A and B are shown apart, each in its own frame.
Chain A
Amino acid sequence: MTLIVPLVFLLGIVIYQVISGAIVPSETVTRIGYVDNAGGFTQYNEQGSIYLAQYAKVEDAKTALISGDINEYFVIDPTYYSTGVINYFTLEKQLTPPPETVTAIKQFMTANMLAGKIPQSDINLINSSLNVVSTRLTDTGAVSTEQGGIGDLVLPMIFAILLYFSIIFTSSYLIQGLGDEKENRLIEVLLSSVSTRQLITGKVLGIGAAGLISVVVWVICTPFIINYATASIGGIFSYISLSPSFFILCIVYFILGYLLFAVISTCIGAITPSAREGQQLAVIFTLTAAVPLWFSSLIIMYPNSPVCIFLTIFPLTAPITLVARLGSTDVAAWQIAVSIGVMVITITVGLFLTIKIVRTFLLMYGKRPTLGTIIRSLRSS
């Protein structure tokens, strides 16, 4: 997966280049009819790829709609100036009229209402989209080096998704491996050579190292892929900015996330009689890790809300939440410190408990201990 992810992104860019070169933009003009009962709407009939064709009467427009000469039609009543309502007629079942149609009609209406009253250039300005250029300042009033914007969201969300899938694959791999070792009694051969503590710590640290390698490879590949995407596709990729602090935190939380879920998966693998049952039990934890992705829109729009802060500190959701939040806001240093501290403590305590649980239940073949049994065993040991 470490190498596949950058390759998939590169392949995506290549495929985009091939497809965008092969597709010829459509030159079809959409015809929309209208009936002007209010008067004064006779100009500016061409609105991009939409042509507004005037009909004298509603019946004529209806006939043209049914015969397929036009796609839709609308009626401008004399009461428009007081109500602002346009009646729109179509043969298709729609949730709302298509946005491009609404835009074309609005621009048509605006241009006709202002025609002759203000210069044409002003009409064009009113009809064009508002171009807001945002500049972020620091506390001292200087221009900030990290401007934010939509480009800042892309990488964190991609890394958050990558982290989630990495956690799932790792968890599944650990549980399957431990299940196989139990099933073929390989675990007994291993335990005749190393202690339980060495075995479990080795598995957890090994997976943590694998996570470190994965994230370092991705971090190294990211600037090259961004540059290639910017040159080939442009668009939003031109706005993606790379912040060193983001990458450092990404690496830290990748490792912590890997370690935490490695500890959980090892514990599950030890107490479940088969890998299949282990995978089922692991779903509880992996689904919890996905909570930040379910609430990604909340994280993007309200990144400093109490819910987001809680998700940043709660160990199971902390890695993905923090990585996702970094695209929308500067996460307070105290939150990062508390989050990392809680995760380190959770991993350490979890590892300690896992070693105890593994030692007690690893060789219980064919049966899963109940939660009560596990707690009693931990207390007595």
Chain B
Amino acid sequence: MVNVVEIKHITKAYADKVAVDDLSFSIAQGEIFGLIGPNGAGKTTTIKMMMDIMKPDSGEVEILGKKLSEATKDKLGYMPEERGLYKKQRVLDTIIYFATLKGMNPHLAAERANQLLEKTGMLPNARKKIDELSKGMSQIIQFIVTIIHEPQFIILDEPFGGLDPVNTELMKNILLELRREGKAIILSTHQMNQIEELCDRILMVNHGRSVLYGSLVDIKSRYKNNAVFLDYQGELGKVPGVIEQHAHKDHIELVLDGKTTPQQVLKYLLSRNIVINRFEIATPPLNEIFLKVVGKDNE
């Protein structure tokens, strides 16, 4: 896979603090990359350096194989956390304007704008002014502005904030579609469930440094407890190799000792003819990993 983004040892310091400290990572084509971290960790500063809004004090930023230039900016889409659109401008005019800033032909931009508005159910609002829309609707428009010019690299900062479940699902489906088309997407959000659902790899930053980096599967595997989730019917009794049992809403969690494997527990349960509705190797939610890592890093 070709790397769309290469960040090598970037550092950025302000007068009173180091915002980004020797950060390195890469993002491949056709990948959704999660950028997470506590508030003030350096995520936004990193994003701004990727977009050449800020220059790093040291290190290199390569987008699409070269330093960011005016030509490369046309292949980049950015959606900031605060929704920034001209309030008195009409929806369609807004989308076309920002598309033309990215080098799109106005007629083509108008055509594609109408397609995206229809796809997102926003076509009836095309002639409305931005300040006449609800927060969620203006967010959808901002998203359309971000992707209308078919960028190869997309940065989304808290794209789901304020969206209802229907629009959240709509945006997720569009992101998955963009991934299938080979776009590289950075998703920066505090909603860990969205990261787990969408991202292939993640980078967690804290105090400007990388504290977790790699594929989500590997990271979760690294932090897993030796435990299983079980939903069953009947009497369980004492299960060999299980040192703790935790009751949850619709299942129990069996914590195994170091010598017992989940397969051995499954074999035992089957031998007891216990009706099993669900048996799953427990991996911790990303939220738990986040808290564990950040807490440890802050000590």
Q: Hey, which bits of chain A sit against chain B, CB under 8 A?
A: 181, 184-195, 198, 363
Contacts and interface: CB of A to CB of B under 8 A. Distances in A.
B179 interface: no
B80 A188 contact: yes
Q: Is the interface of B mostly helix, strand, loop or mixed?
A: loop
B53 A363 contact: yes
Contacts of A184: 82-85
Given A363-B48, A363-B53, A363-B54, A192 B86 contact: no
B80 A194 contact: no
23 contacts: A181-B84, A185-B80, A185-B82, A185-B83, A185-B84, A186-B85, A186-B86, A187-B84, A188-B51, A188-B84, A189-B78, A189-B80, A189-B84, A189-B98, A192-B77, A192-B78, A193-B73, A193-B74, A194-B73, A195-B70, A198-B70, A363-B53, A363-B54
B243 interface: no
Nearest to B53: A191
Nearest to B99: A193
B188 to A, nearest CB: 13
Contacts of A192: 51, 53, 73, 76-78
A189 B102 CA distance: 11
Interface of B: 48, 51, 53-54, 70, 73-74, 76-86, 98, 101-102, 145
Nearest to B79: A189
B82 A194 contact: no
Given A181-B84, A192-B53, A192-B78, 13 more contacts: A184-B82, A184-B85, A186-B85, A189-B78, A189-B79, A189-B84, A189-B98, A189-B145, A190-B101, A191-B53, A193-B102, A363-B48, A363-B53
Contacts of B48: 188, 363
A195 B69 CA distance: 9
Contacts of A195: 70
A191 B84 contact: no
A177 to B, nearest CB: 9
Nearest to A190: B101
B2 to A, nearest CB: 22
B142 to A, nearest CB: 8
A190 B70 CA distance: 12
A193 B84 contact: no
A193 B146 CA distance: 10
Contacts of B77: 192
A187 B85 CA distance: 9
Contacts of A191: 51, 53
Nearest to A193: B101
A217 B168 CA distance: 51
A188 B78 contact: yes
Nearest to A364: B14
A198 B52 CA distance: 14
B70 A194 contact: yes
Contacts of A185: 80-84
Contacts of B76: 192
A211 to B, nearest CB: 22
A193 B79 CA distance: 12
A11 to B, nearest CB: 28
A10 B102 CA distance: 45
Contacts of A363: 48, 53-54
A181 B85 CA distance: 8
A106 B74 CA distance: 84
A188 B80 CA distance: 7
Nearest to A188: B80
Most buried by B among A181, A185, A192, A194: A192
Contacts of B98: 189, 193
A167 B83 CA distance: 31
Contacts of B101: 190, 193-194
A187 B53 CA distance: 10
A176 to B, nearest CB: 12
A108 to B, nearest CB: 68
Nearest to A198: B70
A37 to B, nearest CB: 78
A194 B81 CA distance: 19
Nearest to B51: A192
Given A192-B53, A193-B98, A363-B48, A186 B70 contact: no
A161 B83 CA distance: 40
A193 B102 CA distance: 6
Contacts of B74: 193
Nearest to B69: A195
Contacts of B102: 193
Of the listed residues A190, A193, A363, the one surrounded by the most CB atoms of chain B closer than 10 A to its CB is A193
A188 B81 CA distance: 10
A184 to B, nearest CB: 4
A202 to B, nearest CB: 10
Contacts of B54: 363
A198 B71 CA distance: 13
A166 B220 CA distance: 63
A192 to B, nearest CB: 4
A185 B101 CA distance: 17
B84 A186 contact: yes
Nearest to B14: A364
Contacts of A187: 84
Given A193-B101, A194-B70, A194-B101, A188 B53 contact: yes
A363 B70 CA distance: 19
